Amino acid sequence: MNHTTKELPVSERPYEKCMEQGPERLSDAELLAVLLRTGTPGNNVVRLATAVLQKGGGNLLALYQLSMDELMQIPGIGQVKAIQLKCMAELSKRIARTGRRDAVVLSDARSIAAYYMEQLRHEQQENLILCMFDAKCRLIRERVLTIGTVNASLISPREIFIQALEQHAVHVILVHNHPSGNPTPSKQDVSVTEQVRACGMMIGIELLDHIIIGDKRYFSFKEQEMI
**Coil, helix or strand for 135?**
coil
Distance CA 171, CA 10 (A): 57
**For a pLDDT cut of 90, what percent of the chain falls above it?**
46
At 1 the pLDDT is 39
Q: Which H or E run includes 191?
A: helix 187-203
Give every strand in the sheet of 139-147, ordered side by side: 139-147, 127-133, 171-177, 206-213, 218-220
At 38 the pLDDT is 84
Where residue 209 falls among pLDDT bands split at 50, 70, 90?
very high
Name, of 4-13, 54-63, 103-112, the range with top average pLDDT: 54-63
Q: What is the pLDDT of residues 58-105, one digit of tens each?
A: 888 888 889 999 999 999 999 999 999 999 988 887 887 776 666 666
CA distances, 58 to each of 28, 67, 89, 137 (Å): 10, 16, 16, 41
At 100 the pLDDT is 63
Q: What is the mean pLDDT of the chain?
A: 86
Q: Residue 72 burial (CB < 10 Å; 0-12/13-18/19+)? A: middle
**Other C-beta atoms lying within 10 Å of the C-beta of residue 29:** 20
CA distances, 223 to each of 27, 148, 201, 209 (Å): 40, 25, 19, 8
Distance CA 202, CA 143 (A): 22
Lowest mean pLDDT among 37-41, 167-171, 220-224: 37-41
Please state the separation of Cα 220 from the chain's center in Å: 19
Name, of 5-9, 16-20, 148-152, the range with top average pLDDT: 16-20
Residue by residue, DSSP assigns 83-126 as HHHHHHHHHHHHHHHHHHGGG--TT-HHHHHHHHHHHHTT-SS-
Residue 176 contacts residue 155 (beta carbons within 8 Å): no
